[in-house]
Amino acid sequence: MKKMQYRELYCSSPRYWGGLAFLLFIILVGMGAAFFMEHNGHFVTGMSNQIVWGLPHVFAIFLIVAASGALNVASIGSVFGGPMYKPLGRFSGLLSIGLLAGGLVVLLLDLGRPDRLIVAMTTYNFKSIFAWNIILYTGFFTIVGLYLWAMMDRKFAQYKRPIGFAAFFWRLALTTGTGSIFGFLVAREAYDAAIMAPMFIIMSFSYGLAFFIITLMAAYWWADRTIGELRLAKLKNLLGVFVGAVLYFALVYHLTNLYVTQHHGVERFILLDGGIYTSLFWIGQVVIGGIIPLFLLYSPAFGHSRLALAVASLMVLVGGFFQVYVIVIGGQAFPMNLFPGKEVLESSFFDGVVAAYTPSLAEALLGIAGVAVAMTLVAIGARMLRVLPESLEDPAEGDCA
């Protein structure tokens, strides 16, 4: 059996530094956008007292959810003992750290007072799910960092399994926490559902794996290394299952809501006449994020097509982004029903009407910079650490790499 060799990601200098410079440029632009918004105040954004969480939150939640899912590949390798996934564990850990950092940067820079980070880190209200999440996020960095160490340093190999277990449970807690931010909001009809937490977990499986597949393929293309057919097929089948599961959870969530008369309004809004949100739901989330990827992943016509896998993963991400957009923005746009059985004739505060939201360019630039932060950390990490195997050729018959 050939031993698995890990090596830093080397490729020709212009290609690496050029890529890195491009990412850093995006980050710089994003920083400028954040400064612009903080300096002027949020009035320069599309956010208001009606839509209080805008596009930056969509990016942040999307990245944070994907971060915990990206760790799954490592978990399958060391917790559930999947031999084909084992060599991918290190990169999976690095990617999850990168994605979480990217998401948190966006979340932080969208605060009204980002300068008060130290207050957020030192003053806790333990009844707040947001406060738990701050602890879950910092803990995630620590545990996954240790996990990465245990995977990379032979001296600590015996701790790999216990830390792997800890990381697995921590990531479940983290996504439960992120989902519960919405699930526990009793005020708004689109939220207030316990299914939000497991739904966010399954979303994280899907987005995280899609991110993993794309970055893995990109890294190997960058460095001219090879990935075996069998390994990709495994990832591909797994992604198919996750995409199907996300669709299933969306179905259950909406069916449950449809059964409750009180929620007919919000369901009608998302599914039928919500304008942009209805389009994003059906075209973005269901078709782009679900049906087309499933077709690309399972159709025999694309059986061995790497392009199909890459496109499917990309579509899962795009659809997932729209799904988070519909949950975060759509859920806020639908008016809260303060006076059941009554119609609001007049209000200066937009009671009873669908709130308008047009994201500004600055918000989008900040969000995109968050993705660039994640990718930059991964690119630098893969260049400095031995996280990627020299070759991911399929193991010979009977061998387990």
Among 11, 131, 152, 311, binds another protein (CB under 8 A): 131
Residues 6 or more apart from 293 whose CB is under 8 A from it? 239, 240, 243, 312, 313, 315, 316, 319
Residue 79 CA to residue 138 CA, distance in Å, equals: 22
SS3 letters across 261-283: HHHHHHHHHHHHHCCHHHHHHHH
In the complex with another protein, which residue's Cβ is closer, 346 or 397?
346
Choices 17-25, 40-48, 136-144, 150-158; region in contact with another protein by CB under 8 A: 40-48
Does 3 contact another protein by CB under 8 A? no
Contact 293, 209 (CB under 8 A): no
Q: Maximum Cα–Cα distance for the chain, whole Å?
A: 76
| One character per residue 168-197, x = contact with another protein (rule: CB under 8 A) | -------------x--xxxxx---------
Which tokens sit at 62? Answer: 């999307």
Does 336 contact another protein by CB under 8 A? yes
Does 287 contact another protein by CB under 8 A? no
Gyration radius from the chain CA atoms: 22
In the complex with another protein, which residue's Cβ is closer, 5 or 40?
40
Say which DSSP state 251 is in: H
Choices 41-49, 60-68, 235-243, 389-397; region in contact with another protein by CB under 8 A: 41-49
In the complex with another protein, which residue's Cβ is closer, 13 or 125?
125
Does 43 contact another protein by CB under 8 A? yes
Among 40, 226, 237, 299, binds another protein (CB under 8 A): 40
Number of residues that bind another protein (CB under 8 A): 51
Does 261 contact another protein by CB under 8 A? no
CA atoms within 13 A on the CB side of 330: 27
CA 336 → CA 87, 128, 215, distances in Å? 49, 22, 41
* Residues of span 348-367 touching another protein by CB under 8 A: 348-351, 355-356
In the complex with another protein, which residue's Cβ is closer, 1 or 186?
186
From the CB of 132, what's the least distance to another protein, in Å? Answer: 9
Choices 65-73, 109-117, 227-235, 388-396; region in contact with another protein by CB under 8 A: 109-117
Does 264 contact another protein by CB under 8 A? no
Does 347 contact another protein by CB under 8 A? yes
CA 35 → CA 24, 26, 44, 141, 365, distances in Å? 16, 14, 11, 26, 11
Among 19, 50, 149, 386, binds another protein (CB under 8 A): 50
Residue 295 CA to residue 281 CA, distance in Å, equals: 18
Does 397 contact another protein by CB under 8 A? no
Does 113 contact another protein by CB under 8 A? yes
Residues 6 or more apart from 46 whose CB is under 8 A from it? 54, 55, 357, 358, 359, 360, 363
Q: Which long-range contacts (CB under 8 A, 24 or more apart) does 14-18 make?
A: 15/222, 16/222, 16/379, 16/383
Among 204, 257, 323, 332, binds another protein (CB under 8 A): 332
Residues near another protein, by CB under 8 A:
38, 40-43, 47-50, 52-53, 111-114, 116-117, 119-120, 123-125, 127-131, 134, 181, 184-188, 332, 336, 338-339, 341-351, 355-356
